[in-house]
Amino acid sequence: MTQILTVTLNPALDIAASAPRVVPGIKLRCTSETREPGGGGVNVARAISQLGGHARAVVALAGPNGMALETLLRGRNLDLIRVEAPSETRHSFAVTDEQSGEQYRFVMAGPDWTEAHLTTVLQTIQTEAPDDALVVFSGSMPPGAPVGFLPRACEALGTRRVIIDTSGAHLTFQASGPAPTPHVLRMDSHEAMTLSGKPLSTRDESVAYAEVLRRKGAGRIVIIARGKDGSVMACPNGHWHVNAANQRVVSAIGAGDSFVGGFTLALSRGEDPQEALRHGAAAASAACLSEGTQLCLPEDFETLLPQTKLTRI
């Protein structure tokens, strides 16, 4: 089985609590807090582990928040490769208004990275990932990382298959098709609509835009998630749609990371992109049935996989 390495340069210690009402101007008396590990690559590695696979997780950590986050990750038996972040690991916090059920989420920016730190982490990835490994860059890129960092990483990693699921300026730059082309680029429907300047209201429109990105060189395979309508994929073997098999949503937190986990795990086991797409969609649907940050539970994945259907567009 091909080895998987996930990369999280801007992880977060996620803190959550609730209050009777969230209103301005007064002290909000909150419940006891919960603490969870956060960051796209961290969640992808967790999802892979929960689905019975194995991924090594490169995570940048520093300071007391980093120590707390490392303890949580090791408590989940992740195969952690710690790299030193430039300064204190960020935290995020969420407060739920108990009366309305609405959640207010506050996400800190994270430490500024220098060229020296970026070079060191790339060297670590090159050392830890075999030449045929799957390397997943998932989540936001940290402050200080130039928009050309991901193409630079693809070049440095050579024959390793790189999977990118990021956001903001880094996604915009990747969508322009800088060389070298990563193996996979994934985005959600809102990101695709923003990049294309079009509503992309149908599957045909979404997959047509995915093909535009593929031909530009944004990814050999381009996947666009369409929420409750599943996902579409443009790849060398054609255009595909896969449904979202869940009939209800308990929580959508971690659905995208679970998709990447299921998709990458299937690729590592030698499945073709179409079957990997089906596995990713089933993992995302399973995550929607889990409370909070539990991601995709294996029993839900096994139930939903047979209900996850692939259709050529």
> What whole-number distance in Å separates Cα of residue 71 and Cα of residue 84?
15
> What whole-number distance in Å separates Cα of residue 76 and Cα of residue 73?
5
Write the DSSP assignment of 207-261 as a string of letters.
HHHHHHHHHHTS-SEEEEE-GGG-EEEEETTEEEEE----S--S--TTHHHHHHH
**How many other β-carbons are positioned within 10 Å of the β-carbon of residue 182?**
24
Identify whether 257 is a catalytic site residue.
yes
Is residue 231 within 8 A of residue 259, CB to CB? The reply is yes
Distance in Å from the first CA to the final CA of the chain: 30
Q: What does DSSP assign to residue 181?
A: P
Helices (H) and strands (E) in the chain, counts: 10, 14
Is the CA virtual torsion 167, 35, 125, 185 positive or negative? negative
The 3-state DSSP class for residue 18 equals: strand
Write the DSSP assignment of 38-84 as a string of letters.
E-HHHHHHHHHHHTT---EEEEEE-HHHHHHHHHHHHHTT-EEEEEE
Strand partners, 32: none
Q: Which residues make Cβ contacts (< 8 Å) with residue 246, sequence separation at least 6? A: 285, 286, 288, 289, 304
Q: Omega of the bond prior to 180 within 30 degrees of 0, cis? A: yes
Select which of 14, 165, 188, 257 is catalytic. 257
Catalytic residue positions, numbered: 257
